[in-house]
Amino acid sequence: MRTKLTEMLGIEHPVMLAGMGGVSYAPLVATVSEAGGFGCLGASTMTPPQMVEEIREVRRLTDKPFGVDLLTAMPGGIEDQVRMLIEEGASVFVAGLGVPSQVVTMCHDANVIVINMCGKVEHARRAVAAGCDLVVAQGTEAGGHTGTVATMPLVPQIVDAVGAEIPVVAAGGIFDGRGLAAALALGAVGVWVGTRFIATPEARAVPGYKERLIASREDGTVVSRAFSGKTMRVLRNDYTTYFEQNPAELQPFPAQLGRSMGDNAWHLGGGPETEGVDLDKEGLPAGQGTGAIDELIPAAELVRRIVAEAEEAIGRMTATLGAAVAGGASDGGAG
């Protein structure tokens, strides 16, 4: 399945692993890239030395392309970290929570592709103006920091606005190959998949995260500012409910992040050895595809399944349309 995305990134399949902070570490990233997709490190929860260590581990595990995801809005700027990811051999920089205008030239001078996460059409236009090479149109169904516009209306509007200038990837609530087929139909060139990859053996997660995700229904998430001060889709629990009932206590980013950490409600980036995790208060980012996730699937198999399911879905649509056209012609001839 070849698209502008596979050509641009030098990959086999138009399936990108979301750079999920606390989840997308070297084992998962390398596995997705080795399977022909595009792995992306979630470096927003890493210190600079940890990020460098993880990049080197990905490089040790695979020679395939991969990227690094950072938050533009983090205090102190991102210039030094972007310089590090360039020096360590990442081929793509993915920016969330803002357009990374200050580092686009730096990346292009090093032949590093710049991708910007967008939740509105205006975000995509600003990304194009800043020189970004690709945008991810992320609907509100997505886990983690998210906006207010749903994937189905957002993707084609961003495609119409900037698709003639740069490629658009779809994100938000995509968990299988039917989502990839739908994204292609909407004009996207691939998909950015997060939550489904959490439920893989290779994903990093605190104790109970994957099990709670598998047990969750399609309505088990909520958009909350409880954990960072910015709107974030997470699994609903007692902590999110508390701030729904006490909104006056919410603080802006990053003060609220400090509050949740102080409340021992934020261990993202911790592994299975992490102690003191209370799932009734822990911040567990997750998208609305949770109700479709009922088992752990190895990440490489998941990439292959998504592509095979997409091809099957496209085949069904082609057959259905062909039958409809044939039936219409037959009816017309009989008349």
Q: Which domain CATH number covers 35?
A: 3.20.20.70
Do 186 and 222 belong together in one domain?
no
Tokens 């890239």, located at residue: 33
**Rounded-to-integer distance, Cα 269 and Cα 45, Å:** 6
**What are the φ and ψ backbone dihedral angles of 301, each rounded to 5 degrees?**
-65, -35
Contact between residue 34 and residue 15 where contact means Cβ atoms under 8 Å apart: no
Domain that holds residue 130: 4-204+298-316
**Tens digit of pLDDT per residue, the chain (335 long)?**
899 999 999 999 999 999 999 999 999 999 999 999 999 999 998 999 999 999 999 999 999 999 999 988 666 678 999 999 999 999 999 998 888 889 999 999 999 999 999 999 999 999 999 999 999 999 999 999 999 999 999 999 999 999 999 999 999 999 999 999 999 999 999 999 999 999 999 999 999 999 999 999 999 999 999 999 999 999 999 999 999 999 999 999 889 999 999 999 999 999 999 999 999 999 999 999 999 999 999 999 999 999 999 999 999 988 888 777 777 766 665 44
Residue 327 lies in a domain: no
**Rounded-to-integer distance, Cα 34 and Cα 250, Å:** 42
Residue 328 lies in a domain: no
The β-bridge partners of 221 are 235
**Rounded-to-integer distance, Cα 291 and Cα 294, Å:** 8
The DSSP code for 326 is H
**Rounded-to-integer distance, Cα 267 and Cα 284, Å:** 9
Residue 274 lies in a domain: yes
Instruction: Record the pTM.
Output: 0.94
Do 192 and 46 belong together in one domain?
yes
Do 19 and 127 belong together in one domain?
yes
**Rounded-to-integer distance, Cα 87 and Cα 282, Å:** 35
Paired tokens of 160: 């119409």
